[in-house]
Structure 1
Amino acid sequence: MEYVIEMNGIRKEFPGIVANDNVNLRLKKGEIHALLGENGAGKSTLMNILFGLYQPEQGEIKVRGEKVAITSPNVAGKLGIGMVHQHFMLVDSFTVTENIILGMEPTKGGRINKKKASKEIAALSAQYGLAVDPDALVKDISVGMQQRIEILKTLYRGADILIFDEPTAVLTPQEIKELMDIMKKLTEEGKSIILITHKLKEIKQICDVCTVIRRGRGIGTVEVASATTAELAEMMVGREVNFHVQKTPAVPKDTVLEVKNLYVKDGRGVEMVQQLDLTIRAGEIVGLAGIEGNGQSELIAAIAGLLPVEKGEIRLNGQNVADLSPRKVTEAGVGHIPEDRHKLGLVLDFSVQENMVLQTYYQAPYSRNGLLNAEAIKAKAKELVADYDVRTPSVETAARALSGGNQQKAIIAREVDRSPDLLIAAQPTRGLDVGAIETIHERLVKERDKGRAVLLMSLELDEILSVSDRIAVIHKGQIVDIVEADQTNEKELGLLMAGGSREKGVEASELE
């Protein structure tokens, strides 16, 4: 059997950590091969070696049966290997065409021939069902469309082996479905795909084979059709995973958050929240369900002090916090796990320990007489890293160097540890593996049981249904209905999210 890719006995070390320890992976032509592992297991490192970004200390790589030394991404490109990175490598102010041809510009008479490039890109786009506008500016298009540009970049450079690094981490459910259709089309055209992921549902839907890595070591390779989700999860985390959130019925007490007749505009001046009312009590988790772009992000930004309120009130424990600064909102008792961990959750060039005290560094014991107490900061960071299983070489490592999932765990550790009166969790498990998701759900329920109010915003309906006590459905900037989580289902929520009305009498069988 000839493989298009063979990676044998790969070992990669970084200071203080062995990222890959004798890992093997073999990819067949026309196959979608999942590379599964926890956050920080070494998946991206292994693929960065295949793409030429890192050099291994040991091991060999064969491409189409020939032993090769992939010393740079340019060498990988010449071998037909392309990579769609988790964090897109695009220039916002350039057009789609300019981004795709960057570094490989076709010229005519010494000038870039954009017309020729646009035609080629339009043809590639049509061939693979990517439907992109070659002349659009990157800053004006959706995240899902930006990902399609990354795919086109690899195809334009002639790649027939494509590596997708956590491609669905920032996509909506509809965009995920579209991406899966694109990936199937690519393999039908003879391309081969390695999919780095920890989403078991997606592996079962689209992949042929799955290789599992745990803490840098290869655990095994299985045929996806013959493995259950539970078996894959156990291979990944090394223990049985409980997919159902364990919680007792909520015992709500006093009102913590009261939003009345709220109007909020987004950064472009478009009214995204209007006439919105919402109440959350101590000791309950309220899920916020809605199709992306219906005002949930703006509602959360307004509560957290990140967007001004046009009209209305946001009361926290009776105090109107509308238009207070983010720091004042935090001091009033709000914790915020933001949707965008890079823009709003972390200072990437700060160390892990500095990021752990971003909300409290000016308070005792982390500061004394205007000077930072380095020992107290380090001690707190070490405690949180251990409690929340943040995989990092040390607390002095820059946050930028952590895997996406471990960056998320660092933010969650910082915000939940303060045990605020109101915890806003926006997409808290985005980019996390099943073991970490289980832990985060337990933490949210624990906060609820300590008498805190939790606002959970997620695009994953199964997460909303399993973690929430009540579910507020948002449509066109308004809460259109509030339902008890144990008395509804995905079908009914989907109808409400699309602007429909609740079906009368949901069958008990449909709630399973």
Structure 2
Amino acid sequence: MAKEEALVINGLKKHFGHVKANDGIDLIVRAGTIHAIVGENGAGKSTLMKSLFGLHQPDSGEIYLWGEKVQFSSPLQALSHGIGMVHQHFMLVEALSVLENIILGAEPGKGILLSYKNSRKTVEEICKKYGLDLDLDAIVENVPVGIQQRLEIVKVLYRGARLIILDEPTAVLTPQEIDRMFEILREFKKDGCTVIFITHKLNEVMALADDVTVIRDGRTVGHWPISEVNEKILARQMVGRDVVLDLVKEDAQPAELVLQIQGLQTEQVNGDQKADGLSFNIRAGEILGIIGVAGNGQDALIEGILGLRKVEKGEILYLGEHINGVDTSHLRQKGVSCISADRLKTGLVREFNVRENAILGYHTGKEFVSNLLFQNKRIDHYANQIITEFQIKTPSLEAPITTLSGGNQQKLIIGRELHANPKLIIAVQPTRGVDIGAIEFIYQVLLECRRQNTAVLLVSNELEEVLSLSDRVAVLYQGRFMGCNTPDHLSKEEIGLMMAGVRPEGEGGSE
């Protein structure tokens, strides 16, 4: 085994029943490089990394780590061999301090005699070496998500990791934090560390990686030096066809005022961030994009509009009518549709099949019910229309919804929500967890709604998505708007500062 190869995986297979999550994966990662792994949602990336990290046991195949054949039965074994993993959803104890989280499970000393002084010194040396600014005494629940991610990185470095796996590491970061993250990863590389970078953001792959591997349907499609590919080539390899993400967007032609919000303040639920005096409006034929780091009041805003959260102050007007406290079912009847952020939690019912989920929320309407009985032929015709129009891949209407891919589940929700020809669409994280082919389709659908004079409120954590689709962009921080303007009058740097709570001169807090 060549010395320059930190990791070699040959023919790795992992099946869950009839599902072939990994069906013969091959991977070569050169030591001291940043290696990107990309693929559609469900391609097998996470399963592969979990097999490497000891969370899954592969059914067959070989793993070589620095020339040594290995197979780990637990993450502890993987850590002892120099592998560290920073998960997309952080593994932190919020009630403990930063330092306590870093050393948790790797405490020095024995019993209650822990050498915190030596641990603190080691952690401080790591932070200084890589420029990772951390307040070691801060309680984790009080620090921003960007700092929490640095904490996770220091955790794996403290345990001596030489091969670091990062799963979607930029999902919760501002543009400035992403730039800083890339600087840190490049420093790791200079220091001889090897980084595996799992992402769906192809622009980040091109900016950071030395090599890239594409996985599709549980198999390795190919492996390239980054100098031999571009975003279009990678997208084609991921999907198996050409993908067009360069959007053609005509100038907006805003018409009547559809949604008007003045001084909206919601209640706080379970300690989350409430909406705190938000004002904005949306007209027919335009897309208003709201961007912000997750947890800055997005849920409160949407739930307040939809009647799912108590509004303490302010007014919500829809087509001139006050709708404060109006429940969701009545809003649907009035022409308000919502693509929810969590499709399997609030958009679909896991136990239902495709047909049942296709009418969810509209199932009491006269179109589907007569004399208290469901009109199955009408329901079948309607569901098949959605499947055809929105190119949904499903074996049948009776198929359990959980057997569909994330992209096809999302298409079903969108088809259902657009069926009633709404005047207002609230699209919350509409492309979360879907493949690049589905993203292309969803973008085109939202732009077509705009052309058809529908008002669209887009709430997303994806900056490129918001800038590409929106006619105006509002930046949300701690329940308030830090600024609102057209995309061509906002730089990514300005948006990043506002996402971190810094208001540029001249920017107002409402629209």
TM-score normalized with structure 2 length? 0.81
Q: How does 1:295-444 map to 2 (within 5 A)?
A: 298-325=300-327, 328-330=330-332, 332-338=334-340, 356=357, 360=361, 363=364, 387=390, 396=400, 415-416=417-418, 420-444=422-446
Are residues 1:190 and 2:192 paired? Answer: yes
Distance in 2 (CA, whole Å) between partners of 1:480 and 1:38 is: 34
What is the deviation of 1:25?
0.5
The residue aligned with 1:149 is: 151
Secondary structure of the residue that 1:201 maps to in structure 2?
helix
Q: Is contact 1:361–1:367 with CA below 8 Å preserved after alignment? A: no
The residue aligned with 2:63 is: 61
The residue aligned with 2:53 is: 51
Distance in 1 (CA, whole Å) between partners of 2:472 and 2:251 is: 11
Distance in 2 (CA, whole Å) between partners of 1:131 and 1:350 is: 46
Distance in 2 (CA, whole Å) between partners of 1:369 and 1:168 is: 53
The residue aligned with 1:499 is: 504
The residue aligned with 1:240 is: 242
Taking structure 1 as reference, are residues 460 and 254 closer, same or farther at Cα in structure 2, changes over 3 Å only? Answer: same
The residue aligned with 2:457 is: 455
Taking structure 1 as reference, are residues 76 and 397 closer, same or farther at Cα in structure 2, changes over 3 Å only? Answer: farther
What is the deviation of 1:425?
2.0
Distance in 2 (CA, whole Å) between partners of 1:340 and 1:406 is: 14
Distance in 2 (CA, whole Å) between partners of 1:313 and 1:481 is: 20
Deviations 1:232-267 (A, max 9, x none): 221222222212223444444433212234345655
The residue aligned with 2:480 is: 477
Which letter does structure 1 place at the counterpart of 2:228? S
Which letter does structure 2 place at the counterpart of 1:499? P
Which letter does structure 2 place at the counterpart of 1:442? Q
The residue aligned with 1:508 is: none
Task: Give 5+ residue unaligned stretches, structure 2.
Answer: none
Q: Is contact 1:173–1:459 with CA below 8 Å preserved after alignment? A: no
Secondary structure of the residue that 1:4 maps to in structure 2?
strand
Deviations 1:111-140 (A, max 9, x none): 455454444333333333332333333322
What is the deviation of 1:372?
10
Secondary structure of the residue that 2:261 maps to in structure 1?
strand
What is the deviation of 1:217?
1.8
Tell me how many residue pairs correspond in the alignment.
496
Query: In terms of mean alpha carbon deviation, does 259-268 or 179-188 score higher?
Result: 259-268
Identity %: 43
Which letter does structure 2 place at the counterpart of 1:324? V
Secondary structure of the residue that 1:121 maps to in structure 2?
helix
Q: Is contact 1:20–1:216 with CA below 8 Å preserved after alignment? A: yes
Q: How does 1:98-113 map to 2 (within 5 A)?
A: 98-108=100-110, 110-113=112-115
User: Given the alignment, which residue of 40, 43, 57 partners 1:41?
Assistant: 43
Give the root-mean-square deviation of aligned CA atoms: 4.1
Are residues 1:18 and 2:20 paired? Answer: yes
Taking structure 1 as reference, are residues 420 and 209 closer, same or farther at Cα in structure 2, changes over 3 Å only? Answer: same
Distance in 1 (CA, whole Å) between partners of 2:93 and 2:344 is: 17
Taking structure 1 as reference, are residues 58 and 479 closer, same or farther at Cα in structure 2, changes over 3 Å only? Answer: closer
Taking structure 1 as reference, are residues 471 and 138 closer, same or farther at Cα in structure 2, changes over 3 Å only? Answer: closer
What is the deviation of 1:165?
1.3
Taking structure 1 as reference, are residues 292 and 91 closer, same or farther at Cα in structure 2, changes over 3 Å only? Answer: closer
What is the deviation of 1:161?
0.8
The residue aligned with 1:91 is: 93
Secondary structure of the residue that 2:447 maps to in structure 1?
helix
Distance in 2 (CA, whole Å) between partners of 1:227 and 1:89 is: 34
TM-score normalized with structure 1 length? 0.81
Secondary structure of the residue that 2:224 maps to in structure 1?
strand
What is the deviation of 1:158?
2.0
What is the deviation of 1:65?
1.0
Query: In terms of mean alpha carbon deviation, does 288-297 or 110-119 score higher?
Result: 288-297
Query: In terms of mean alpha carbon deviation, does 457-466 or 205-214 score higher?
Result: 457-466
Taking structure 1 as reference, are residues 369 and 385 closer, same or farther at Cα in structure 2, changes over 3 Å only? Answer: same
Q: Is contact 1:306–1:326 with CA below 8 Å preserved after alignment? A: yes
Which letter does structure 2 place at the counterpart of 1:212? V
Taking structure 1 as reference, are residues 57 and 369 closer, same or farther at Cα in structure 2, changes over 3 Å only? Answer: farther
Q: How does 1:118-129 map to 2 (within 5 A)?
A: 118-129=120-131
What is the deviation of 1:456?
1.6
Q: Is contact 1:35–1:43 with CA below 8 Å preserved after alignment? A: yes
Distance in 2 (CA, whole Å) between partners of 1:121 and 1:416 is: 53
